């Protein structure tokens, strides 16, 4: 299969490595707006060549992967679909779905598009961040597949089965709701935690000295790029605000229990929180 | 060196394994209030024997390590110091220091005690959680060493250098302030995040399906035991409330920026948060 990947960052680059590793891509063509990123992606062997013209890059592939930040995604996907023919398949790999699905709902080639979200990533970005094996064993969500052509869905299912990933089917609205709960809020929480510590702890050396593995793991996502995350929060704004209000309520509740020295109440809340260990051992 | 460890949980058990691994303890005696934990600690080889009588266990050791939760610590340390002779050394391994230092400030054997906090741990507890190598390469804080006998401090310094750990000297008040900033708040944040997701996401299977490595890392500390953490929050209450108020402010600020669609402001805050990656690469 010839594959064109538009956007050679963490996700696009990692998918390139996985497809190559599993013999699923014979020739990989990349499209990348940043010239230094394009050069680095070639050096790292993520793709075989860079193609400057989007329509040409699309026409040369059996599968086109759009892996740009969500604000660029809604702009890039329609011209990609303009250029595809009936035998080609287009996927995105974006973290929000409703805005994108709406943007292409009326497109004459909508059937060739399958909306995909592999639930994997790291706090790093750019071609250097690409990792072979990032997706193995993880979940990939396929959204609104009823609006895609059956043969296109089949190609995508076979591809992600082969990585291998666990396939989960959701409609776009459910996807955006559940990812706000399970993914987007943990980024907000981590950004706020980093801002808190940077504000309170004026001696940066103390952060380095005292940071244990526990602190590092909660603050790791705070290293994530605003170029990736601001468009996600923007496109999923109402769901993120809803879960963020719940998070503020839960934090305020823990604060009130501690302020009034209700240690039985605090113990009970921590026991409730411990239940997460039953779901994610 | 003969070592007695009082409390054979994650920290006491891991220290037992490290001391043995580095040939620093010839004979290890354990004191453990929970009978099943005592039995398991013996089975796992954390200690050579269990001694039921505290004073006897203390008298038989060159070094006594008190590794119980912080509420038990303030109760156990004074009778331990009652039983020590001039050649013995006592350390704690607790996460808060001011309450403990106050509890033994006037003790006639105060000089034999060195207040110690190894900055390492996991979300697990009990003897099964003990890990050889937990402390290697981490920081250990020594508090108020001016109030300990010089020879006792020397023994403790040599011991932790040998593991090896990086030694940091703080007074008790500074310790409690900085650990509130860098350690305690990340546990509160993680407990609140778990409560948030458990409240919003009624379909537990969805949490399992959609949890990526990022979510798992931010919510990992929420598996931590209330028996460990409630006494820490209690003893460090004012510092924890202070940093928790800052955290609520930062979260509310991110919420307001998103609510009024100030994406430039949101980008700026995330860029500020990203600075944590310069301190903890």
Domain ranges of chain B: 2-170, 175-279
pLDDT at residue A263 is higher than 90: yes
Closest residue on chain A to B183 (Cα): A215
Closest residue on chain B to A117 (Cα): B210
Max Cα separation, chain A? 67
Q: What pLDDT band is residue B268 in, cutting at 50, 70 and 90?
A: very high
CB atoms within 10 A of CB B142: 20
pLDDT at residue A228 is higher than 90: yes
Question: Which residues from chain B sit within 8 angstroms of residue A250, using beta carbons?
Answer: 192-193, 195-196, 199
Q: Is A264 on the interface with B (CB under 8 A)?
A: no
Superfamily of segment(s) B2-170: NAD(P)-binding Rossmann-like Domain (3.40.50.720)
Q: How far apart are CA B2 and CA B19, in angstroms?
A: 10
Contact between B248 and A245 using a beta-carbon 8 Å cutoff: no
Could you name the CATH architecture of B175-279? Orthogonal Bundle (1.10)
Q: What pLDDT band is residue B36 in, cutting at 50, 70 and 90?
A: very high
pLDDT at residue A27 is higher than 90: yes
Q: Which two tokens stand for residue A92?
A: 């995105």
Check residue B196 and give its pLDDT. 97
Mind listing the pLDDT tens digit for each residue in B169-221?
999 999 999 999 999 999 999 999 999 999 999 889 999 999 988 999 999 99
Q: Which two tokens stand for residue A277?
A: 């260990």
Write the DSSP assignment of A103-165 as a string of letters: HHTT-TTGGGEEEEEE----S--SGGG--TTSSTT-EEEEE-GGGS-HHHHHHHHHHHHHTT-
ipTM metric? 0.95
Mean pLDDT for the stretch of residues A209-221: 92
Mean pLDDT for the stretch of residues A38-60: 97
Tell me which DSSP letter residue A45 carries: T
Q: What pLDDT band is residue B234 in, cutting at 50, 70 and 90?
A: very high
Write the DSSP assignment of A210-236 as a string of letters: H--HHHHHHHGGGGS-HHHHHHHHHHT
- Cα B8 from chain centre: 14
Check residue A212 and give its pLDDT. 87
Instruction: Name beta bridge partners: B115.
Output: B143
Interior/surface letters A63-76, b for 16+ CB within 10 angstroms, e for the rest: bbbbbbbbbbbbeb
- Common-topology check for domains A2-171 and A175-279: no
With both helix axes pointing from N to C terminus, report the angle between B226-235 and B237-259 in degrees, rounded to the nearest 10: 100
Q: Is A131 on the interface with B (CB under 8 A)?
A: no
Mind listing the pLDDT tens digit for each residue in A169-200?
999 999 999 999 999 999 999 999 999 999 99
CB atoms within 10 A of CB B264: 9
Mind listing the pLDDT tens digit for each residue in A140-171?
999 999 999 999 999 999 999 999 999 999 99
| Close Cβ partners of A189 (under 8 Å, ≥ 6 residues apart) | A218, A247, B189, B192, B193, B218, B251
Could you name the CATH architecture of A2-171? 3-Layer(aba) Sandwich (3.40)
Partner-chain residue, chosen from A207, A212, A259, that has the shortest CB–CB distance to B241: A259
Closest residue on chain B to A141 (Cα): B210
């Amino acid at each position: 299969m010839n594959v064109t990947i538009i956007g050679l960052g963490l996700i696009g680059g990692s998918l390139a490595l996985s497809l190559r590793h599993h013999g699923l891509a014979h020739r990989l063509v990349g499209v990348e707006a940043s010239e230094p990123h394009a050069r680095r992606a070639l050096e790292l062997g993520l793709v075989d060549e860079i193609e400057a013209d989007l329509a040409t890059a699309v026409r040369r592939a059996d599968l086109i992967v759009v892996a740009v930040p969500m604000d660029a995604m809604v702009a890039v996907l329609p011209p990609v679909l303009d250029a595809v023919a009936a035998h080609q398949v287009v996927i995105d790999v974006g973290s929000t779905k409703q805005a994108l699905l709406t943007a292409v709902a009326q497109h004459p080639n909508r059937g060739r598009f399958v909306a995909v979200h592999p639930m994997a990533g790291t706090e790093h970005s750019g071609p250097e961040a690409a990792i072979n094996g990032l997706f193995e064993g993880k979940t990939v969500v396929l959204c609104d597949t009823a609006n895609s052509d059956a043969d296109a869905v089949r190609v995508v299912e076979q591809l992600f089965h082969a990585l291998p990933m666990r396939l989960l089917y959701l409609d776009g609205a459910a996807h955006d709701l559940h990812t706000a709960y399970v993914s987007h809020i943990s980024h907000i929480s981590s950004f706020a935690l980093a801002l808190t510590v940077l504000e309170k702890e004026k001696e940066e050396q103390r952060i380095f000295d005292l940071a244990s593995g526990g602190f590092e793991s909660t603050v790791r996502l705070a290293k994530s790029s605003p170029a990736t995350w601001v468009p996600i929060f923007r496109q999923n704004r109402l769901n993120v605000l809803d879960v963020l209000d719940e998070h503020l309520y839960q934090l305020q509740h823990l604060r009130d229990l501690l302020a009034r020295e209700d240690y039985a109440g605090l113990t009970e809340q921590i026991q409730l929180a411990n239940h997460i260990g039953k779901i994610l051992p």
